Amino acid sequence: MLRFLIFSDSHGRREPMLELYKQYPNDGIIHLGDHIADARWLMEHTNGHPVYQVRGNCDGFDHGLEEQLLLLGGVKIMLCHGHRYQVKSGYGAAIAAAKRQGADVLLFGHTHLPFMEKREGILLMNPGSIRNPQAEYGILEIEQNQAKGVLMKRYE
């Protein structure tokens, strides 16, 4: 089984991500933007542990991909921040993009609201914001070419 920690919208709040990395054995970390520099910081502080990352709308001229398609454990995963697909107004455009890519999973952020649902055969997952007081995040587990997600909160 593969396990990935999913973070989004860290906006400079780095410590909870490092704490969770130490707490949960994992095969990689996925950062969905808004302060992509936090993802690079995390990579440095985890001795080069895999950290997949995309830029968000608050990343200005910071370098990095705005979208990424990963194949992990036989599962095709589309990463995006979500702002380019107007996810605050609905998920239709993001789902259409994921379908065009042949994705099994669509991971996005931007809304700061945790969300998970399967639509049109695609697992949609927004971990919320690690910056929120509860430090919201997600875990994506992949086993036998199947993905399942769990939404979590660090502080309740």
Domain map (residue ranges) of the chain: 2-153
> What does each of the 156 residues of the chain score in pLDDT, given as a tens digit?
999 999 999 999 999 999 999 999 999 999 999 999 999 999 999 998 999 999 999 998 888 999 999 999 999 999 999 999 999 999 999 999 999 999 999 999 999 999 999 999 999 999 999 999 999 999 999 999 999 999 999 875
> Is the dihedral angle over the CA atoms 37, 42, 48, 54 positive or is it negative?
negative
What CATH number matches the domain at 2-153, 3.40.50.360, 3.60.21.10, 3.40.50.2000, 3.40.50.1820? 3.60.21.10
Alpha helices for the chain (secondary structure H): 15-23, 36-45, 92-101
pTM listed for this prediction: 0.96
